[in-house]
Chain A
Amino acid sequence: MKVKDYSKEQLTDFYETMFKMRRFEEETFEFYKKGMMAGLAHLYMGEEAVATGVCAALKEDDYIGSTHRGHGHLVARGAEIDRMMAEILGKETGYSNGKGGSMHIMAMDKGILGANGIVGGEIPIATGAAYTIKYKGTDQVAVSFMGDSATNEGTFHESVNMAAAWDLPCIYVIENNLYGISVDIRDVTNTPDLAVRAKGYDIPGVVVDGMDVTAVYEAAKKAVKRAREGKGPTIIECKTYRWQGHHVGDPATYRKRRSETEKEDWMAKCPVTNFRKEIIEAGKVTEDEIKQLEEKVEAEIQAAVKFAADSPYPDASEAFTDVFQEGTL
């Protein structure tokens, strides 16, 4: 569908979510550059259309499983960005009181079963959520986000196989950004499209332009409908690119092997700025309206940055809570 076929509200929602993710990650990068953040973070810049399009097709009580590159998924599911930023800075007010950090943000009240530090680690977990849905007989769905490289983990194949065999309401979303750290997926995998693996499990597998939010949304809507109707899982592969390296400290010089301008070519397809231009040009929204929206988001981002920066670190004794119900054993 072209943007003219969507409501103004839907289009501005898409844009607001993508813009918020972009600004969220830019500020996360700033935390790192200013030395405010311990450890590392894996930025979602460039991939905004994927989480936005997929999560727009979900209902409030659906579940998602996320990855090490998870900030975008969480923003799209409506996690509180101030508590996310506080967690990234290791503060007491963060989602996990500073115990998890960027790679382990979880928001159970939003159906977010957690970002995950192990590539492919979350795939069976989201599949298990789909099993719960099937067992309870509700019309919820579970989405398992993963990178391209997770499709070479055993958990991917084991999970997709079981979901297919038992018609579980799970949608496997592959964010194919072409690289697993420095390794080009095309050098270690025999098929240029990863969604073709769906054939091996006799389920639908679709490839979509991951830089186009409406394309992702349409594919997700179809997969979600199929899952809600009890017809089983779908694999959606979104072709996308990460602006930054694997994490904030990775200059990603390895990406010039195939083409000197690979990064620039992808950045020309920016899902955020191109979409902004497109919806204004289509007359769906005015420049002024977009600016107002951006100001609103910016105020939210700045408030979150301040909240995170001003929040205290947890007391050292916090390390000894939450291992078990009883604390430590």
Chain B
Amino acid sequence: MKEITYAQAICEALDEEMERDDNIVMLGEDIGFIGGNFKCTVGLLEKYGDLRVKDTPISEQGFVGMGVGMALTGLRPVIELMFSDFLLVAADQVINQMAKIRYMSGGQANVPMTIRCPIGAGRSSAAQHSQSMQAMVAQFPGTKIVVPSTAREAKGLLKTAIRDDDPVLFLEHKMEYNKKYQIDDDVEPIPFGKARIAREGKDITIAATSSMVMKSEEAAEKLAKEGIECEIIDLRTIVPLDTETIIESVKKTGKLIVADEAHERCGIGAEIAAAVADDIFYYLDAPCGRVANPNVPLPFSPALEFPLIPSADKVYDKVKTYFK
């Protein structure tokens, strides 16, 4: 065991994969000389050289599209976008090209590329640097979407993402980067589509993504003292989605809350609630609940931002509504 930050865990995954496979090439803004805006690529330029760790100009559509071309011609590009909000700048290449080329080619071509970028609010970064893009991209078939929780999860899932032969969107939570975690010296790739039971409980299921897993764990500690046992499911991936694990849990607890930091409207919570209602409606003791960002852009002032962000307290409050 060792103590490292979430950003270091990501850096270790990149380093270990690059060491293993020469076809892995990284492109992105500020990933080379300064080791990344969030320090996820520190030391990699020195170790692998500037053809494999390429500082790009501010041309998101251009270098994401280059990643697609590199993936089609035998490389395994890992592209860093400084903020997930910039997916919108590169949207044509992400959604019309990367996600669809395999399908449009009738399976002739694979696009084994990974786009890494941070999601989440909490840094007074305002409306264009605080969004969480998982649900928006999930609307379009063709991209696997990863929402890792802890440092260990991020490391294991990133290895799987890089080795996957399909496009993967890997969404890191920017408020996690500097947090320290105890992790094993060696972390194996973690398979996609298999959720993790982060905490077992019998009274209510909380299906959570990204840092909402840890926030839910914090809430669950407090709730346990009041006699409410939460079962927390770390979804790990949105596409593929492990509905089986959610359904098995809800069959036991009869109650479901989905905790995801993206905006509530048309979000992951709505998707999972519909899937559960479709499948096991009669097991539900109550309607499915959601903890998510309200449907307003993220504001700048901490006085405005923090009250909006889904927190451990909000998860706690939401759970309490089921046990009046």
Contacts and interface: CB of A to CB of B under 8 A. Distances in A.
B207 to A, nearest CB: 17
A320 to B, nearest CB: 10
Contacts of A130: 69
Contacts of A131: 25, 66, 69-70, 75
A127 B62 contact: yes
Contacts of A116: 97
Interface in A63-84: 63, 65
A140 B50 CA distance: 21
Given A95-B108, A162-B56, A155 B102 contact: no
Interface string B149-180: 00000000000000001100000000000000
Interface in B159-203: 165-166, 193
Interface string B61-75: 111111111111111
Contact of B63 (A99, A114, A124): A124
Interface in B261-303: none
Contact of A63 (B66, B73, B104, B193): B73
A162 B55 CA distance: 11
Given A124-B93, A136-B74, A161-B57, A329 B69 contact: no
B108 A106 contact: yes
B240 interface: yes
Interface in B14-38: 25
B69 A128 contact: yes
Given A159-B62, A325-B166, A124 B142 contact: no
Contacts of B106: 94-100, 106, 322
A261 interface: no
A321 B107 contact: yes
Interface string A24-35: 000000000000
A210 to B, nearest CB: 25
Contacts of A100: 104-106
Contacts of A96: 104-106, 108
Given A100-B105, A106-B108, A129 B96 contact: no
B188 to A, nearest CB: 20
A324 B168 CA distance: 11
Given A118-B96, A159-B66, A132 B59 contact: no
Given A63-B73, A129-B73, A136-B74, A124 B105 contact: no
Contact of A121 (B75, B97, B108): B97
A194 B256 CA distance: 59
B92 interface: yes
Given A108-B109, A129-B70, A124 B64 contact: yes
A125 B68 contact: yes
Contacts of A117: 96
Given A124-B93, A125-B72, A165-B57, A159 B65 contact: yes
A155 B61 contact: yes
Given A129-B70, A329-B239, A162 B63 contact: yes
Nearest to B106: A96
A125 B97 contact: yes
Nearest to B241: A329
A158 interface: yes
Contacts of B1: none
A116 B166 CA distance: 19
Nearest to A101: B104
Nearest to B60: A158
B126 interface: no
Interface in B103-145: 103-110, 141-142, 144
Nearest to A104: B104
Contacts of B57: 158, 161-162, 165
A155 B65 contact: yes
A322 B103 contact: yes
A79 B290 CA distance: 52
A125 B59 contact: no
Interface string A134-173: 1110000010000000000011001101100100000000
B223 interface: no
Instruction: Determine which residue in A65, A127, A133 has the highest number of CB atoms from chain B within 10 A of its CB, and name it.
Output: A127
A142 B68 CA distance: 14
Nearest to A329: B240
Nearest to B109: A108
Interface in A182-197: none
Given A100-B106, A125-B69, A131-B69, A324 B144 contact: yes
A135 B53 CA distance: 11
A9 B169 CA distance: 50
A311 B174 CA distance: 53
B142 to A, nearest CB: 6
B101 interface: yes
A7 interface: no
Given A165-B57, A329-B193, A322 B72 contact: no
A97 B237 CA distance: 30
A123 interface: yes
A323 interface: yes
Contact of B75 (A114, A135, A329): A135
B164 to A, nearest CB: 8
B103 A135 contact: no
Instruction: Determine which residue in B62, B75, B77, B108 has the highest number of CB atoms from chain A within 10 A of its CB, and name it.
Output: B62
B107 to A, nearest CB: 4
Which A-B residue pairs are the 7 nearest by beta carbons? A128-B69, A124-B65, A158-B62, A96-B106, A128-B66, A158-B59, A322-B107
Given A125-B97, A129-B69, A321-B107, 18 more contacts: A96-B104, A99-B105, A106-B104, A108-B72, A108-B108, A116-B97, A128-B65, A131-B75, A132-B74, A134-B51, A154-B59, A155-B65, A158-B62, A165-B57, A322-B105, A324-B166, A326-B240, A329-B141
